[in-house]
Structure 1
Amino acid sequence: MESQKGQESQKERQVSQMGFAGWRPTYLRRFNNPTMFTAIFSVSSFFLIVPYGVLLVILPTLERVFNLNSKQTGLILMFNDISGVIASVVMTNWYSAKKIRWIGIGNLLIVAGYLCPVWTTLVIEYPAPQTAESHNMSSSHNLLCEGREQEGRDWANRNHNYYFMFLFGFFLQGFGANAPLTAGLTYLDEIFHQKHFAIALSVVAVFSFVGYPFGLALGSEFMGWHVTLSMPEGMTVDSAEFVGAWWLGILIPSVVGFFLAFIVLLYPQQMPAANVVLASKIRHGIATLKEKEEELNQSFVEVTRRMIPDFQRLLRNRALNYLVLGEVFFSLQIGLQAYEPKIYAKLFRLTDTTVGPILGIFHGGGFILGIIMGGLLVKRRDWKPKRLTFIFFTLSLVSIPFLFGALLNCPMDKPPIAVACNYSDCNCTTEFYDPVCDDISGVTYFSPCFAGCNRVVLNTIHDEINPVWGWGNCSCATSGIVHPGECGSTCSETMAISLAITTIQQVIQYAGFVSLNVVFQRIVDESDRTIAQGLRQSARKALGTIPSPLLFGWMIDRYCTIWKTSSVDGSRGNCWVYDTETMIIWLCVVQVGLRLLSSLFYYLCWSNYPADLKENSAKNPLIQTNKREYYSSTCSTSMCAEEE
Structure 2
Amino acid sequence: MKEDGVDNPAFEPSSPEGSEHKRAALSPGRLGHPALGASCSLDPEEHLCGIGRFAPAALQVCNNPKGYLLFYSLLSIFQGIVVNGLVNVSISTIEKRYDLNSSLTGIISSGYDISFCLLCLFISFYGERGHKPRWLAFASFLIALGALVFCLPHFTAGPYIYGDKVEDTCPVNLAAIKNATCKPGLKKTELSNYFYVFLLGQLIMGAGGTPLYTLGTAFIDDSVPKHKSSVYIGIGYGMSLMGPAIGYVLGGQLLNIYVDFHRHPRHDITPEDPRWVGAWWVAFVACSFSTCLLVAPFSYFPKQLPGTHKIRAEKISEAHHGGADVQSEYGGRSLRDFLLTLWLLLRNPVLMCLVFAASMEACVATGFATFLPKFIENQFGYTSSYSATLGGLVLVPGAAIGQIISGILVSKLKLNCKSILKFIVLTCSVALGFNMVFLIAICGNTPFAGVSEDYNGTGTLSNLTAPCNSHCRCLRSNYLPVCGTNGVQYFSACYAGCTSAVTIQDGSKVFTNCDCVVNPKSSTENIIYGATPGKCASNCSSLPLFLGFFFFTIVFTFMAVTPTTVAILRCVPERHRSFAMGVHMLFLRILGSIPGPILFGVSIDSTCTLWDIDKCGRKGSCWTYNNHRMAYMLVGISVIAKVISIIFTVTAVFIYNPPPEQLESSEKKEEAVTSVQL
What is the TM-score of this pair, normalised by structure 2? 0.77
What secondary structure is seen at the aligned counterpart in 2 of 1:454?
strand
Aligned residue among 602, 606, 610 for 2:653: 606
Q: Tell me if the contact between 1:566 and 1:572 (Cα under 8 Å) persists in the aligned partners.
A: yes
Quick one: structure 1 residues 505 and 613, their matched pair in 2 at CA, closer, same or farther if it must change by over 3 Å? farther
What secondary structure is seen at the aligned counterpart in 2 of 1:382?
coil
- Give, in whole Å, the separation in 1 of the partners of 2:595 and 2:181: 39
What secondary structure is seen at the aligned counterpart in 2 of 1:302?
coil
Q: Which residue of 2 aligns with 1:88?
A: 120
Moved more, 481-490 or 539-548: 481-490
Tell me if 1:474 matches 2:514: yes
Q: Tell me if the contact between 1:326 and 1:602 (Cα under 8 Å) persists in the aligned partners.
A: yes
- Give, in whole Å, the separation in 2 of the partners of 1:405 and 1:286: 38
Q: Tell me if the contact between 2:449 and 2:464 (Cα under 8 Å) persists in the aligned partners.
A: no
Q: Which residue of 2 aligns with 1:459?
A: 503
Matches within 5 A, 1:234-633: 234-281=268-315, 302-336=333-367, 337-407=369-439, 408-413=441-446, 414=448, 416=450, 418-420=464-466, 422-433=468-479, 435-438=480-483, 440-455=485-500, 457-460=501-504, 464=505, 466-477=506-517, 478=520, 481=529, 485-487=533-535, 489-491=537-539, 493-567=541-615, 569-612=616-659
Deviation (angstroms), 1:578: 3.9
- For structure 1, the 5+ residue unaligned runs are 1-7, 288-294, 623-644
Deviation (angstroms), 1:608: 0.9
Given residue 502 of structure 2, which amino acid in structure 1 is its aligned partner?
Answer: L
What secondary structure is seen at the aligned counterpart in 1 of 2:79?
helix
Deviation (angstroms), 1:392: 0.7
Asked which structure has the greater CA Rg, the reply is 2
Deviations 1:237-283 (CA, angstroms, capped at 9, x unpaired): 433333444444444334322322432232121222323323434xx
Q: Tell me if the contact between 1:562 and 1:576 (Cα under 8 Å) persists in the aligned partners.
A: yes
- Give, in whole Å, the separation in 1 of the partners of 2:374 and 2:287: 22
Q: Which residue of 1 aligns with 2:49?
A: 18
Q: Tell me if the contact between 1:445 and 1:451 (Cα under 8 Å) persists in the aligned partners.
A: yes
Q: Tell me if the contact between 2:230 and 2:410 (Cα under 8 Å) persists in the aligned partners.
A: yes
Quick one: structure 1 residues 156 and 181, their matched pair in 2 at CA, closer, same or farther if it must change by over 3 Å? farther
Quick one: structure 1 residues 266 and 481, their matched pair in 2 at CA, closer, same or farther if it must change by over 3 Å? farther
Q: Which residue of 2 aligns with 1:184?
A: 216
Given residue 335 of structure 2, which amino acid in structure 1 is its aligned partner?
Answer: T
- Give, in whole Å, the separation in 2 of the partners of 1:168 and 1:87: 15
- Give, in whole Å, the separation in 2 of the partners of 1:78 and 1:20: 37
Q: Which residue of 2 aligns with 1:143?
A: 173
Deviation (angstroms), 1:12: 8.9
Deviation (angstroms), 1:234: 4.4
- Give, in whole Å, the separation in 2 of the partners of 1:419 and 1:304: 65
Given residue 207 of structure 2, which amino acid in structure 1 is its aligned partner?
Answer: F
Deviation (angstroms), 1:187: 0.6
- Give, in whole Å, the separation in 1 of the partners of 2:533 and 2:283: 24
What secondary structure is seen at the aligned counterpart in 2 of 1:450?
coil
- Give, in whole Å, the separation in 2 of the partners of 1:415 and 1:65: 32
- For structure 2, the 5+ residue unaligned runs are 1-38, 320-328, 451-462, 523-527, 670-678
Q: Tell me if the contact between 1:191 and 1:273 (Cα under 8 Å) persists in the aligned partners.
A: yes
Q: Which residue of 1 aligns with 2:6?
A: none
Quick one: structure 1 residues 68 and 333, their matched pair in 2 at CA, closer, same or farther if it must change by over 3 Å? farther
Aligned residue among 200, 203, 221 for 2:232: 200
Quick one: structure 1 residues 265 and 443, their matched pair in 2 at CA, closer, same or farther if it must change by over 3 Å? farther
Deviations 1:493-551 (CA, angstroms, capped at 9, x unpaired): 32222221211111112222221111111111211211111111122222322333333
Deviations 1:302-343 (CA, angstroms, capped at 9, x unpaired): 353421121122222211111111112222222312333344
Quick one: structure 1 residues 347 and 164, their matched pair in 2 at CA, closer, same or farther if it must change by over 3 Å? farther
Quick one: structure 1 residues 148 and 367, their matched pair in 2 at CA, closer, same or farther if it must change by over 3 Å? farther
Q: Tell me if the contact between 1:116 and 1:166 (Cα under 8 Å) persists in the aligned partners.
A: yes
What secondary structure is seen at the aligned counterpart in 1 of 2:496?
coil
- Give, in whole Å, the separation in 1 of the partners of 2:546 and 2:285: 33
Deviations 1:134-170 (CA, angstroms, capped at 9, x unpaired): 6599xx8442898584499999964554334443332
- Give, in whole Å, the separation in 1 of the partners of 2:140 and 2:366: 23
Moved more, 184-193 or 493-502: 493-502
Given residue 118 of structure 1, which amino acid in structure 2 is its aligned partner?
Answer: C
Deviations 1:356-387 (CA, angstroms, capped at 9, x unpaired): 33222222121122123212211211111101
Identity between Structure 1 and Structure 2 (%): 23
Q: Tell me if the contact between 1:366 and 1:506 (Cα under 8 Å) persists in the aligned partners.
A: yes
What secondary structure is seen at the aligned counterpart in 2 of 1:319?
helix
- Give, in whole Å, the separation in 2 of the partners of 1:124 and 1:577: 36
Q: Tell me if the contact between 1:314 and 1:532 (Cα under 8 Å) persists in the aligned partners.
A: yes
Higher fraction of helix: 1
Deviation (angstroms), 1:601: 0.3
Quick one: structure 1 residues 343 and 243, their matched pair in 2 at CA, closer, same or farther if it must change by over 3 Å? farther
- Give, in whole Å, the separation in 2 of the partners of 1:613 and 1:537: 29
- Give, in whole Å, the separation in 2 of the partners of 1:145 and 1:437: 23
Q: Tell me if the contact between 1:195 and 1:382 (Cα under 8 Å) persists in the aligned partners.
A: yes
Deviation (angstroms), 1:488: 5.9
- Give, in whole Å, the separation in 2 of the partners of 1:226 and 1:482: 33
Q: Which residue of 2 aligns with 1:99?
A: 132
Given residue 601 of structure 1, which amino acid in structure 2 is its aligned partner?
Answer: F
Moved more, 469-478 or 202-211: 469-478
Given residue 637 of structure 2, which amino acid in structure 1 is its aligned partner?
Answer: V
Moved more, 592-601 or 74-83: 74-83
Deviations 1:405-431 (CA, angstroms, capped at 9, x unpaired): 234154333464624255420222222
Q: Tell me if the contact between 1:68 and 1:574 (Cα under 8 Å) persists in the aligned partners.
A: no
- Give, in whole Å, the separation in 2 of the partners of 1:258 and 1:621: 50
What is the TM-score of this pair, normalised by structure 1? 0.80
What secondary structure is seen at the aligned counterpart in 1 of 2:492?
coil
Q: Which residue of 1 aligns with 2:17?
A: none
- Give, in whole Å, the separation in 1 of the partners of 2:509 and 2:576: 66
Q: How many residues align?
A: 591
Q: Which residue of 2 aligns with 1:216?
A: 248
Quick one: structure 1 residues 258 and 620, their matched pair in 2 at CA, closer, same or farther if it must change by over 3 Å? farther
- Give, in whole Å, the separation in 1 of the partners of 2:633 and 2:211: 36
Q: CA RMSD in A?
A: 3.9
Deviation (angstroms), 1:440: 2.6
- Give, in whole Å, the separation in 2 of the partners of 1:393 and 1:226: 50
Given residue 363 of structure 1, which amino acid in structure 2 is its aligned partner?
Answer: L
More RCO (CA 8 Å, sep 6+)? 1
Q: Which residue of 2 aligns with 1:625?
A: none
Matches within 5 A, 1:103-114: 103-114=136-147
Deviation (angstroms), 1:185: 0.9
